[in-house]
Amino acid sequence: MSREGTRRGPLAGIRVVELGGLGPGPFCGMLLGDLGAEVIRVDRPAEAGAPTRHPVLHRGRTSIAVDLKHPAGADAVLRVIATADAVIEGFRPGAVERMGLGPDVCLAANPKLVYGRMTGWGQDGPLAQEPGHDINYIALSGALHAIAPAGGDPVVPLNLVGDFGGGGMLLGLGLVSALLHARTGGQGQVVDAAMTDGTALLLAMTYGFMAQGTWEDRPGVNLLDGGAPFYGVYRCADGGHVAIGAIEPQFYAALLRVLGLTDDPVFARQRDRASWPAMREHLTEVFARRTRDDWATAFEGQSACVTPVLSLTEAAEHPHNTVRGTHRRGAHGGHEPSPAPRFAATPAADPAPAPVIGAHTSDVLRIAGIAGEDIDNLREKGIIG
């Protein structure tokens, strides 16, 4: 429970308090914990003693169960925050202020604190108080419209773009940046991470293409949205798929060589958009002749940027990912992603399993300076679990 402990990684010695939450906030906490930070997650006393429903996102945590809506519970957590370097909260704007744990209160108790706020719409704006989920945020950011076949409906990209790429990952960058500032300047601050902002940021290159006149603002007709026949997915004879990314001329030439299409006039002008429909039709017919794994074998080592489309289980067991240790076996018995990125001088340790909710409540409060009899009193009143 100390800052030194046995944690390894570039963030060892950093303490983060995570005020519950779902999705992007816990993902950010997982990232920081994977890289060595001590992440203290606060859950509700009613859940104390139960295993978490999110064994991967909640791995590597210290867990306390405290009723944040009770003034004594909020005060106890504020004592913990006073010992921390950063806070993560993902409630609707104004909610933590009503609990007495808003940034003004926390920064008054700990001026070097970095206070990270994770929301869909941001802390202000006309939609700030509206509910929403990943799909709503990426819809309003333009990303969902762009992820669709020509003439087809938008395709839901899991909740990767808003929750995790434009949300939790962005908050992680913001927190680490503000922590660096606090270490050098001694001043904490609030980090406002909104999934709408983050998703828009992920579209930077696309907006750049539009500014250059090389991207149409309609889906399925552009180079990287499935419009180009040499950058897309094709169904194979067994129902599996292969992914093609043969953008550069040398990779395109290798693609045609393996497929026996080098002299086919349909493929003579790679960037001629008028030829793309005929090219796609021909490639669709060719790839349907053999199974996915047959094509994977045929393209192995050919530098054509062609790969099989793997399931989640297959990806975890692929030889390349196995050699690199991209996945690991979690305490839950299944596959999970390993910590990333990798650091040469400060490698991260294997993350500990997600703890039982509230497992460390007494220890954390004691380290925060709360007396044992006061902890017992909080427990008797049901304020902690």
CA distance 207 to 217: 9
CB 88, CB 94: distance < 8 Å: no
- Is there a catalytic annotation at residue 163? yes
Closest CA to 11 of 37, 42, 50, 34: 37
Closest CA to 47 of 20, 17, 15, 84: 20
- Is there a catalytic annotation at residue 133? yes
- Selecting among 54, 133, 181, 318, the annotated active-site residue is 133
b/e map 315-340, b = 16+ CB within 10 Å = bbebeebeeeeebeebeeeebbebbe
CA distance 72 to 93: 22
Q: Which residues face 250 on adjacent strands? A: none
- Selecting among 34, 67, 163, 197, the annotated active-site residue is 163
CA distance 8 to 212: 45
Give helix 195-202 / helix 169-185 axis angle, nearest 10°.
Answer: 100
Residue with tokens 């606090």: 182
CA distance 190 to 123: 11
Kindly list the catalytic residues: 133, 163
